[in-house]
Copies of this chain bind each other. A is one copy, B any other.
Amino acid sequence: MPKHAGPSTGEQARQQVLGQLRQAISQGEMAPAQRLVEDELAEQFGVTRASVRAALIELESEGLVERIRNRGSRVRVVSVDEAIAITECRMALEALCAAKAAVTADDEQLAGLAALGTAMSRAVADGEPLTYSELNHQLHTRIRELSGQQVAMRLLERLNAQLVRHRFQLALRPGRPQQSLSERLALIEAIRARDPQRAEAAAHAHLTSLTDALHE
């Protein structure tokens, strides 16, 4: 259960609830399939039901929440099959971003990518999967930003939000970081070489590797 909200100030209620709820779900503070009763949330956040309702409708179309008529809302559980499907879409879009990033990025930005790459290598060598996971997240975010592809960016953010529960699982699997690291370094190299086709191919290779891993 999330803490009892914040200031509940005059700030727009829906926006606030939306943000807090999204964060709570995204960070796994709420159990999967947990029931989200409008009345309860309204009291917790100190707003009216209408605001909670609006937030839930929005979260539903973001895929974070599931709503059943007259029955209530709950945190959506993403099955493994679905996680695979989502990952496939993610990678298709990230390949697009990588290709664009390879073309549009300037030298400074490329240097930043390289720095991230070495940091990731170190994290793996030091056996720190959580640091690695965090850096990895940063890398993907950075590539998205470099691409300048706003639409893809928005879609990816949405898709990623649905995967929280599955992300940890993968990062902590022994041997997994080593493999994904090399794939990611290849991706970074391709972008640095400003080679969009290679970047795309590298992202694709990473796709198959990831979905295979998800299959267990």
Enumerate chain A interface residues (CB-CB to B < 8 A): 12, 50, 53-54, 57-58, 60-62, 69, 82, 85-86, 88-89, 92-93, 95-96, 149-152, 155, 159
Contacts and interface: CB of A to CB of B under 8 A. Distances in A.
Contacts of A69: 12
Given A62-B61, A92-B92, A85 B149 contact: yes
B151 A89 contact: yes
A200 B88 CA distance: 13
B54 A85 contact: no
Interface centre among A12, A96, A152 (most CB of B within 10 A): A96
Question: How many copies of this chain are found per oligomer?
Answer: 2
28 contacts: A12-B69, A53-B54, A54-B54, A54-B57, A57-B57, A57-B58, A58-B60, A58-B61, A61-B61, A61-B62, A82-B151, A85-B149, A85-B150, A85-B151, A86-B151, A88-B96, A88-B149, A88-B151, A89-B93, A89-B149, A89-B151, A89-B155, A92-B93, A92-B95, A92-B152, A93-B93, A151-B159, A155-B155
A12 B86 CA distance: 31
A152 B60 CA distance: 17
Contacts of A53: 54
Nearest to A14: B57
A85 B152 contact: yes
A54 B88 CA distance: 31
Contact of A50 (B50, B86, B159): B50
A152 B107 CA distance: 34
Contacts of A152: 85, 88-89, 92
A58 B54 CA distance: 9
Given A89-B93, A89-B151, 15 more contacts: A53-B54, A54-B54, A54-B57, A58-B60, A61-B61, A82-B150, A82-B151, A85-B149, A85-B150, A86-B151, A88-B96, A88-B152, A89-B152, A92-B93, A93-B93
Contacts of A57: 54, 57-58
